[in-house]
Amino acid sequence: MRIAFAALAFVLLAATSASANEVISTEKAKIKVETFADGLENPWGLVFLPDGRALVTERDGRLRIVSSKGKLSAPLSGVPKVDTRGQGGLLDVAIDPDFAENKFVYLSFAELGDGGTNSTAVARGMLTATGLVDVKIIFSQVPKVVSTLHFGSRIVFDDAGHMFISLGERSKSEFRGQAQDRGSDLGKVVRLNRDGTIPDDNPYVGKQGMRPEIWSYGHRNQQGAAMNPWTHELWTNEHGPRGGDEINIVKAGQNYGWPVVSYGINYDGTPVGKGKKTGPGFTDPIHYWVPSIGVSGMAFYASDTILEWKGDLFVGGMAIPKLVRLELDDDRIVHEEALLSELGSRIRTIAQGPDGAIYLLTDDGEDRILRVSAAE
């Protein structure tokens, strides 16, 4: 997942109310930013279909098709019931690596349990002209707890067809320590087969007291994930508390430290753990932000369409609204450029389209899909 990343000096308009139909000069490329689709409400996930259309989720439980011209469909049927409290709802959407043959679509969402509890779950169904059919829940995070925060969650497939799901630790002090407990799914990345069964080579298969679906642990709230198309490794980003947003290269059996170590501090100003940024047995992030930018969607750019950006990693900012372009040298981030800050738009999700443009979901009250392309 790495190549050199260029920093992006965005020159937008003067005001935060800047238009989203502008030509912008950046450090390495001249780009055009335009509204591709609007009329959305709290969009969260975006994935392109082989025919050039896209699927988009809205947190209230709506799944829509976006035409190649940016027209939104009516909500599709078959979406599982979601718990919309707090940060929950309908979250990510992904398609099967063999979608052209099997039409499988995967949805992550907040699933309601007994007594007001909930957790992150993933369902799979077949896409038809009007919705999903044969929908089955193939993963449900354990345990369910009483919280409306930190669900994660992104769905990513590797070249072998394994499915990775990024999971939050549910935020509250009484739960967050379970990010270090391999008998709990809180604060983990899990790795599954596409039908929800567990691969035999997961690191904790057959180990007493440990959940076999777990791939890595010690995570806080991972809202961005992408497979590096060059190294074929999973990269994720996760929210820190006050400071300490991270990018991690996620590997089997590794411990990423939360809530024992962090580059941030608690919201009340107290140290996280004993105030250490790192320590023995923990895998450090390859990049972090202080103050936090509120990381969300993440995507590697692998197209020649904006050639100057090929090989770069893009991350969305929510707390500090912007698109971040990161230049890579193998597994190192060597340069950072802030883009589109003048739009004032919280960037929830990033996807490379079949046309080589970059598509952005904004979640800021003027919710839309932006298209970023090379300016002529």
Kindly report the backbone phi and psi dihedral angles of residue 325, in degrees, each rounded to the nearest multiple of 5, phi listed first: -105, 130
Catalytic residue among 150, 162, 219, 239: 150
232 labelled catalytic: no
Pairing of strands 347-352, 332-339: unpaired
CA 1 to chain centre: 15
The CA dihedral of 137, 99, 67, 64, to the nearest 10 degrees, is: 0
Kindly report the backbone phi and psi dihedral angles of residue 352, in degrees, each rounded to the nearest multiple of 5, phi listed first: -85, 125
Provide CB contacts within 8 A for 81, sequence distance 6+: 61, 112
CA distance 201 to 203: 6
Tokens 């604060």 sit on residue: 187
CA distance 259 to 266: 10
Provide CB contacts within 8 A for 73, sequence distance 6+: 64, 65, 66, 67
CA distance 272 to 265: 5
Q: Which residues are catalytic?
A: 150
